[in-house]
Structure 1
Amino acid sequence: MAKVPLNEDAFDRSEYHKADRQFRLAEQKLPQDAVSALAREVVRRLAFKIPRTVKTDDLPDATEIDLLCASLLSTKDNAADQFIMAARRDGVPMDAIYLGYVAGAARRLGEMWDADEISFVDVTLGCGKLYRIIRGLRHVIAPGILAERDEWPAMFALVPGETHTLGIEIATDVFRREGWDVDMMVGLDHDMLVDQSDRRNYRAVVLVANSDNMIERLTRLVLAIRISHPLAHLVVAGNILDHHPDILELVGADAMMKDIETAVSTLRDVIDGS
């Protein structure tokens, strides 16, 4: 296999550190069952990335997956990062990194968790590291994920469990009157919403939540959409902003839409600033 040097500029260190801070803050601020749900989300969203076009010779064997898992569970914080970067420097194609190494490690962590071979603390540690790695590699992972999707300006979605739809309906109408071609999604559960979002390459995803008790569902939803939309700008809107001053770091979003009067200019600034 030809050696392909890793372009360090392609590694998004800002997003890597943001993802790391998010998981650490979630462990501090959210109850254990919510943190467990975040870890499960990482496992299920990554584990079922099944290789189709990747050459068999490029896929890792069970020993390599076990070594990566050991690195993810290591007390050495950057052991897994070094493992992945070394594979990339050795010429392992990016699709094999994502569909073979990352997905394989997610599946193995899930199996070990279900078999009680690793603790809750271990699996959240490993999943947090996997998540920050894919956020760091988002620019090189994105083409394979988004290749067959048509680009769309924005999606407005009500966080699953919210029942107050008036705000999101007004916002969607305002944007459409301003000439924006946006999708609105309400009344969907978590999996249905993520599945629907996967049909298009949205430049921005606006998630609307009003109740304080929606913070856990919002955090999980942002994480899932980050995996399926590596380059999308995620924006939080709704009354939940009044309850959580650190909401952007906690849920891992990029910006807030504070009111309807400035909503259009806010989203335009978010997209144009990319």
Structure 2
Amino acid sequence: MANDSKPFTHDPAKPVAEPAVLVDGDVRELARIALQRLTQPNGLRVNRSCGLTDRLDDLCEAFLSDSNEDRHIVIHQMRLDGISANEIIDHVIPAVAAVLGQRWADDTLSFVEVTIGSARLQEAVRALIAHELSRDASNIHRDTLSAGPDRVHTPKVLLLVPRPEHHTLGAFVAADQFRRFGYDVDIAVDQHPKQVAATLRDRRYCMIGISIAGRRTLASTRELVDIIRATVTRVTPIVLGGSLLETDQDLKKATGVDYVARTVRDALELCGLNIVELDPPRELMADHV
């Protein structure tokens, strides 16, 4: 993620794999919220020359297209229609990811297609964040990136995507939301637990978040939690998020985390951490992506 997060070992060009399989209700709800933003962003009505469902379909096709220009056009048009970058990150991109995942589950998209599309969605998130940070020099997070004593006092969150989880888009969306709540963010993707332990010895975090989408990640998550507890010398809450929270499984017991949370705001509140309303995300976190 540009500027506001520092992936330690993850190659940003690495495709996102294994999309979470969603039930139809999840996709409909994500699409409803996204289309609501497309219809009335900030209270304004946009050009409705095509149906809302068609517009979401167009977004999906743009991220499946080999042409970068197609993606630039649809994002640029949304911005012209008054849809903010944050609304695109919080609502539209998660909805597109959900639809791509559902198409894969329905066998209308190949695994390769949905993997490439997901990687492009993640790149769009990074590009939108980079643009917003460069546009607004007064952004408080930009201030924390400069050298000086203030940097030391900025609260920091570590977001982990454990092995063998490759579904990383949600973690990058969450990182931007933490930033907008006043937190600095590090992201560690696909790291060996020993590497995570080394990071925890070198840096101090007010919260550690773990994002998972599939059951096959539960064992490695439990191992990671055990190593975190053995390494961290001060009490640091560990929070689990991700699309796997939609299941009835007792994930807190299975993984040993302190809390499970569907949204960034919920995670901060459960940990008793301050919420600075810089530019807070609205309603929905990308816990489905």
Normalised-by-shorter TM-score class: 0.3 to 0.5
Normalised TM-score (structure 1): 0.43
Normalised TM-score (structure 2): 0.41
